[in-house]
Chain A
Amino acid sequence: KAGVTQTPRYLIKTRGQQVTLSCSPISGHRSVSWYQQTPGQGLQFLFEYFSETQRNKGNFPGRFSGRQFSNSRSEMNVSTLELGDSALYLCASSSVQGLNTEAFFGQGTRLTVV
């Protein structure tokens, strides 16, 4: 079956702009989680969606938001971009919520803010 698809793979934005990233989970998976990965902080949890509802949220400012659609596809939005938002953004899908099962990660979207 097809894996987790993230689009776009690369993105360059300027400070102050906003950006929307997309994640298509594995067919049948209802949980989608988003992570930010930077060399200094490692992988940090942003939020998790399950059946169109946000179930958990990490410690990120309100500029980071997301949503999930009825087909389980998810989008993540970052408004008023800052230089520090430059990172690899990863999404992961799983069949159930939480850590009780394996998560499948996409290749990520590399966001560069200039």
Chain B
Amino acid sequence: SQKIEQNSEALNIQEGKTATLTCNYTNYSPAYLQWYRQDPGRGPVFLLLIRENEKEKRKERLKVTFDTTLKQSLFHITASQPADSATYLCALDSNRDDKIIFGKGTRLHILP
């Protein structure tokens, strides 16, 4: 069955730098891949969706790439700010059957 791995449990980045988070999956390429942000004690908040036929998506300081050859999505936050500190989750469909699976997330700390 499909598995997701997000690169590390925690990542420390200096303010102003670009933070890059990784989401790897093991089997077939999902039709859709989503990224969410979650703050402590709150539900995840949708950030970006990328489809299998899209290589890249941008939204303000956020950029997502989707490489079906590497079976990987990268999530970038440029000009990072302390307010970007949160846990970031990737999600995809498990077997093209709409069962959604989430990665365990990466806790991002932007250091002032």
- By a beta-carbon cutoff of 8 Å, the part of chain A in contact with chain B is 4, 33, 35, 41-45, 48, 55-58, 90, 92, 97-108
Which chain B positions have C-beta within 8 A of A106? Answer: 43
Contact between B42 and A99, CB atoms less than 8 A apart: no
Contact between A102 and B46, CB atoms less than 8 A apart: yes
Contact between A99 and B31, CB atoms less than 8 A apart: yes
Contact between B98 and A43, CB atoms less than 8 A apart: no
Which chain B positions have C-beta within 8 A of A33? Answer: 100
Contact between B34 and A99, CB atoms less than 8 A apart: yes
Known contacts A42-B105, A99-B49: A56-B98 contact under CB 8 Å: yes
Which chain B positions have C-beta within 8 A of A56? Answer: 97-99
Q: Provide 27 A-B residue pairs closer than 8 Å at the C-beta atoms, listed in order of the A residue.
A: A35-B102, A42-B102, A43-B105, A45-B99, A45-B100, A45-B101, A48-B98, A56-B99, A57-B99, A90-B43, A90-B44, A97-B98, A98-B32, A98-B93, A98-B98, A99-B31, A99-B34, A99-B49, A99-B93, A99-B98, A100-B31, A102-B46, A103-B34, A103-B46, A104-B46, A105-B36, A106-B43
- By a beta-carbon cutoff of 8 Å, the part of chain B in contact with chain A is 30-34, 36, 41-46, 49, 89, 91-94, 97-105
